[in-house]
Amino acid sequence: MIDMTNEELNVEIAEHCGWRNIREQDYQPFGTDPYIDGPSQVWVGIHPESDVDSKEYEVIPDYCNDLNEMHDAEKYILDFGRFGDELAKVVLGYTGTPEDITLNYWALQRVTHANGRQRAEAFVKTKGKWKK
């Protein structure tokens, strides 16, 4: 069961990574007709490395679908033990306590090959921002 959408996870992670003034914005992809296709929605914000007074908005990273972006976000995690526990729970569907998790070779391989969505869920749970 998915409690948070990819967009919600991406916004939570972006905020934690220093993105500012995050908001949803209409976007019309090139070559589409706004009267037929309607506008798309994208999440934008001010990049963490931008000047404090910057007003330039960029599309926030898609952490749930981009392992490179998720890897960059994981640099902001201070409690890797808890992150590892949460990641194992997400990937393996385990609901017990972290002390009870036993990782054999196959389980460890599944955890190390976690996709972006799974890593994003574990990240948000590690930060205590998970919404049901």
Q: Is the pTM of this model over 0.85?
A: no
The dihedral built from the CA positions of residue 72, 127, 14 and 118, taken in this order, carries a sign that is: positive
Indicate whether 16 belongs to any domain: yes
Q: Is residue 132 part of a domain?
A: no
Rounded to whole angstroms, the Cα distance separating 24 from 52 reads 21
Check whether 33 has a pLDDT greater than 90: no
Q: Provide mean pLDDT across the span 20-48.
A: 78
Domain total in the chain: 1
Q: Which domain holds residue 31?
A: 6-126
Measure Cα distances from 53 to 11, 23, 91 in Å: 21, 17, 41
Tell me the percentage of the chain whose pLDDT exceeds 90. 50
Residues contacting residue 33 through CB under 8 Å, at least 6 positions apart: none
Q: How deeply is 73 buried, as exposed, middle or buried, from its count of CB atoms within 10 A (0-12, 13-18, 19+)?
A: buried
Q: What is the pLDDT of residues 43-99, one digit of tens each?
A: 999 999 888 888 889 999 999 999 999 999 999 998 888 898 899 889 988 776 666
In a domain, 60, yes or no: yes
Q: Does residue 77 belong to any structural domain of this protein?
A: yes
Neighbours of 113 (CB within 10 A): 9
Q: So what's the pLDDT on residue 73? A: 95
Paired residues of 42 in beta bridges: 25
